[in-house]
Amino acid sequence: MTTQIVQAVLNEVKKHNAKKVKEVHVIIGKLTYLGVDQIRFAYKILIEDTILKGSKLFIEERGGKIKCPNCKYKGNIPLKDDPAYHIPIPTLLCPECNKAANIVEGKECTIKSIKMVK
Protein backbone atom coordinates (compact mmCIF):
# COMPACT_ATOMS: atom_id res chain seq x y z
CA MET A 1 0.00 0.00 0.00
CA THR A 2 2.82 2.41 0.82
CA THR A 3 4.33 1.78 -2.61
CA GLN A 4 1.02 2.85 -4.17
CA ILE A 5 0.91 5.99 -2.01
CA VAL A 6 4.46 6.96 -3.01
CA GLN A 7 3.77 6.25 -6.69
CA ALA A 8 0.58 8.32 -6.64
CA VAL A 9 2.45 11.24 -5.04
CA LEU A 10 5.25 10.96 -7.61
CA ASN A 11 2.69 11.00 -10.43
CA GLU A 12 1.03 14.11 -9.00
CA VAL A 13 4.35 15.88 -8.44
CA LYS A 14 5.34 15.16 -12.04
CA LYS A 15 2.11 16.79 -13.30
CA HIS A 16 3.04 19.98 -11.44
CA ASN A 17 6.74 19.96 -12.37
CA ALA A 18 7.73 20.25 -8.71
CA LYS A 19 11.37 20.29 -7.67
CA LYS A 20 10.87 19.09 -4.10
CA VAL A 21 8.20 17.61 -1.85
CA LYS A 22 8.05 18.86 1.73
CA GLU A 23 4.96 17.13 3.14
CA VAL A 24 2.51 14.39 2.27
CA HIS A 25 -0.77 14.14 4.20
CA VAL A 26 -2.79 10.93 4.01
CA ILE A 27 -6.01 9.69 5.56
CA ILE A 28 -6.13 6.05 6.56
CA GLY A 29 -9.28 4.38 7.82
CA LYS A 30 -8.92 2.08 10.79
CA LEU A 31 -10.86 -0.61 8.95
CA THR A 32 -8.06 -0.92 6.38
CA TYR A 33 -6.03 -2.54 9.16
CA LEU A 34 -2.92 -0.86 7.80
CA GLY A 35 -0.28 -0.35 10.46
CA VAL A 36 0.67 3.31 10.76
CA ASP A 37 4.17 2.48 12.01
CA GLN A 38 4.73 0.08 9.12
CA ILE A 39 3.57 2.71 6.61
CA ARG A 40 5.96 5.28 8.09
CA PHE A 41 8.84 2.80 7.99
CA ALA A 42 8.16 1.75 4.38
CA TYR A 43 7.69 5.39 3.32
CA LYS A 44 11.17 6.33 4.56
CA ILE A 45 12.71 3.50 2.56
CA LEU A 46 10.68 4.04 -0.61
CA ILE A 47 11.37 7.79 -0.89
CA GLU A 48 15.15 7.49 -0.45
CA ASP A 49 16.13 7.91 -4.12
CA THR A 50 13.22 10.11 -5.19
CA ILE A 51 12.13 13.74 -5.20
CA LEU A 52 10.25 12.90 -1.98
CA LYS A 53 13.48 12.33 -0.03
CA GLY A 54 13.36 14.33 3.20
CA SER A 55 9.60 14.88 3.03
CA LYS A 56 7.45 14.40 6.09
CA LEU A 57 4.54 11.99 6.11
CA PHE A 58 1.49 12.99 8.14
CA ILE A 59 -1.12 10.30 8.75
CA GLU A 60 -4.65 11.06 9.92
CA GLU A 61 -6.48 7.97 11.13
CA ARG A 62 -10.25 7.81 10.71
CA GLY A 63 -12.50 5.57 12.72
CA GLY A 64 -15.20 3.47 11.14
CA LYS A 65 -18.79 4.56 10.62
CA ILE A 66 -21.82 2.64 9.46
CA LYS A 67 -25.17 3.60 7.98
CA CYS A 68 -28.27 1.49 8.34
CA PRO A 69 -30.45 1.25 5.22
CA ASN A 70 -33.37 0.18 7.43
CA CYS A 71 -33.60 2.89 10.12
CA LYS A 72 -31.10 5.41 8.66
CA TYR A 73 -28.80 5.31 11.72
CA LYS A 74 -25.35 6.71 10.94
CA GLY A 75 -22.58 6.51 13.49
CA ASN A 76 -19.75 4.58 15.02
CA ILE A 77 -19.38 0.87 14.46
CA PRO A 78 -20.50 -1.05 17.54
CA LEU A 79 -17.91 -3.34 19.13
CA LYS A 80 -18.66 -6.80 20.46
CA ASP A 81 -16.47 -8.00 23.30
CA ASP A 82 -15.96 -11.68 22.62
CA PRO A 83 -13.45 -13.42 24.91
CA ALA A 84 -12.67 -15.93 22.15
CA TYR A 85 -11.02 -13.16 20.10
CA HIS A 86 -9.23 -11.52 23.08
CA ILE A 87 -10.12 -8.08 21.66
CA PRO A 88 -13.35 -6.21 20.94
CA ILE A 89 -14.39 -6.91 17.34
CA PRO A 90 -16.44 -4.59 15.13
CA THR A 91 -19.91 -5.69 14.10
CA LEU A 92 -21.88 -4.48 11.12
CA LEU A 93 -25.19 -4.58 12.92
CA CYS A 94 -27.08 -1.37 13.55
CA PRO A 95 -27.14 -0.56 17.27
CA GLU A 96 -30.65 0.90 16.85
CA CYS A 97 -32.56 -1.82 14.96
CA ASN A 98 -30.05 -4.71 14.94
CA LYS A 99 -30.23 -5.08 11.13
CA ALA A 100 -27.25 -5.31 8.77
CA ALA A 101 -25.56 -1.94 8.14
CA ASN A 102 -23.13 -0.67 5.50
CA ILE A 103 -19.65 0.71 6.11
CA VAL A 104 -19.51 4.36 5.02
CA GLU A 105 -16.18 5.43 6.60
CA GLY A 106 -13.05 3.71 7.76
CA LYS A 107 -11.94 1.76 4.69
CA GLU A 108 -10.29 4.69 2.89
CA CYS A 109 -6.64 5.29 2.17
CA THR A 110 -6.49 8.74 0.57
CA ILE A 111 -3.84 11.30 -0.17
CA LYS A 112 -5.27 14.46 1.36
CA SER A 113 -2.59 16.94 0.29
CA ILE A 114 0.96 17.31 -0.96
CA LYS A 115 3.12 20.30 -0.11
CA MET A 116 5.63 20.78 -2.92
CA VAL A 117 8.11 23.37 -4.14
CA LYS A 118 8.11 24.35 -7.80
Q: Judge if pTM exceeds 0.75.
A: yes
CATH of domain 2-63+106-117: 3.30.2320.50
pLDDT band, very low/low/confident/very high, at 88 (cuts 50, 70, 90): low
Do 91 and 80 meet the contact criterion of CB atoms below 8 Å apart? yes
Question: Which residues 6+ apart lie within 8 Å of 103 measured at CB?
Answer: 31, 64, 65, 66, 77, 92
**Higher per-residue pLDDT: 12 or 76:** 12
Ordered by start, the domain boundaries in the chain are 2-63+106-117, 65-103
Range in 26-30, 63-67, 85-89 with the lowest mean pLDDT: 85-89
Return phi, psi of residue 29, to 5°.
-75, 140
What is the rounded average pLDDT of the residues 78-105?
A: 79
